[in-house]
């Protein structure tokens, strides 16, 4: 269980986040959505241990998170691969502290998950954007994390590749994968993937809506339920739009 309690993050006098608290456990994919600059990336940086909270705490299965943790991994908006390492070496970076045999096996398994075994010895400069992003995903998965943080991981991809990666993520997470906390500003992506959606307001980031999405997966984007959730979220994210819609009607 991930338990976030009265979390606050200040940069000097500027409060970027909080106080904010929620727990999550059952949901495979929890999406945090909000306008840009609202503090959602700060939340992710706190969870990943890259930033320390000013107040409050984050606990994973009862243990307080202080700094980077092997049970929590991150895939960023950009692939962030080391250009001087091969695909396999980049993935290996996340499990450098494991014994040799175990490490090789884990890397192989992670590359299988993202269907990139043939490219194990390729350099990042030889990969397409989607492939590079999959390597980033493999690196985040290789250590069998308990919690996988995704920071707008598909936002830089072309629309078709993005849809393919979303399907791929659902496959990877499956029933026994890590819990995923996904940060996005793509409403469709949030609804397609999530078991629960938290809408943030800010700064400072605060919870505006906490919504459980229990539609069966895979989800049809054209379904009425999908569209209803979309309208709801749009209204949250663009409150000024409601007035305009009412006027038009």
Partner 1 sequence: MSELILKLVRPLAAPAWPYALAHRAAAIVRPLIFPALILAVWQGLGSFSLIDPVLLPTPTKVLGALYEMVISGYLNPHLAISFQRVLLGFAAGSAVAIVIGALTGYSTWWRSIIDPTIHAIRTIPGLAWIPMFILWLGIDEGSKVVLIAKASFFPTYLNFMSGIARADRKLIEVGQVYRLRGVRLITKVLLPHSLPFLFVGLRQSMGVAWLVVVAAELMGASSGIGYVLLDGEMTGRAQIVMACMIVFALCGKTTDLIIARIAQRVLSWQDTVEKE
- By the criterion CB under 8 A, which residues form the site for partner 1? 48-50, 68, 70, 73-74, 76, 78, 80, 82-85, 93-94, 96-97, 123-125, 143
With a CB cutoff of 8 Å and minimum separation 6, the contacts of 10 are 16, 54
Q: How far is the CB of 172 from partner 1 (least distance, A)?
A: 19
Q: How far is CA 114 from CA 56, 77, 95, 102, 235, in A?
A: 36, 17, 17, 19, 36
Which residue's entry shows tokens 């979220």? 233
Nearest distance from C-beta of residue 84 to partner 1, angstroms: 4
Nearer to partner 1, 22 or 76 (CB): 76
Phi-psi domain of 208 (left: phi exceeds 0; alpha: psi -120 through 50; beta: other): alpha
| Nearest-approach distance from CB 75 to partner 1, in angstroms | 10
Instruction: Give the burial string for 161-184 (b: 16+ CB within 10 Å, else e).
Output: bbbebbebbbebbeeebbbbbbbb
Nearer to partner 1, 140 or 193 (CB): 140
Comparison of 85 and 120: residue with beta carbon closer to partner 1:
85
Alpha-carbon span 226 to 232, nearest angstrom? 10
Angle in degrees, CA 151, 153, 154, rounded to 5 = 145
- How crowded is residue 65: how many other Cβ atoms within 10 Å of its Cβ? 21
Between residues 1 and 82, which has the closer beta carbon with respect to partner 1? Answer: 82
The minimum distance between CB 63 and partner 1, in angstroms, equals: 16
Q: Of 70 and 218, which CB lies nearer to partner 1 in the complex structure?
A: 70
Cβ 141 to partner 1, closest distance in Å? 13
């Amino acid at each position: 269980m991930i338990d976030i309690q009265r979390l606050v993050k200040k940069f000097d006098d500027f409060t970027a986040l909080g106080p904010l608290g929620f727990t999550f456990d059952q949901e495979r994919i929890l999406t945090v959505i909000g306008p840009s600059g609202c503090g959602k990336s700060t939340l992710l940086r706190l969870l990943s241990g890259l930033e320390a909270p000013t107040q409050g705490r984050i606990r994973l299965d009862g243990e307080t998170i202080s700094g980077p943790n092997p049970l929590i991994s991150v895939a960023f908006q950009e692939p962030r691969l080391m250009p001087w390492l091969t695909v396999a070496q980049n993935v290996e970076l996340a499990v450098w502290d494991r014994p040799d045999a175990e490490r090789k096996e884990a890397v192989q398994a992670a590359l299988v998950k993202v269907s990139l075994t043939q490219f194990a010895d390729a350099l990042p400069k030889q990969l397409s954007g989607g492939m590079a992003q999959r390597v980033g995903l493999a690196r985040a998965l290789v250590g069998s994390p308990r919690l996988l943080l995704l920071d707008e991981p598909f936002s830089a991809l072309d629309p078709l590749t993005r849809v393919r990666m979303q399907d791929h993520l659902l496959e990877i997470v499956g029933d026994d994968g890590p819990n995923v906390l996904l940060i996005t500003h793509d409403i469709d992506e949030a609804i397609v993937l999530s078991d629960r959606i938290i809408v943030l307001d800010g700064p400072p980031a605060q919870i505006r809506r906490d919504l459980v999405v229990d539609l069966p997966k895979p989800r049809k984007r054209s379904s009425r339920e999908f569209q209803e959730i979309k309208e709801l979220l749009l209204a949250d994210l663009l409150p000024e739009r409601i007035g305009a819609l009412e006027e038009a009607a």
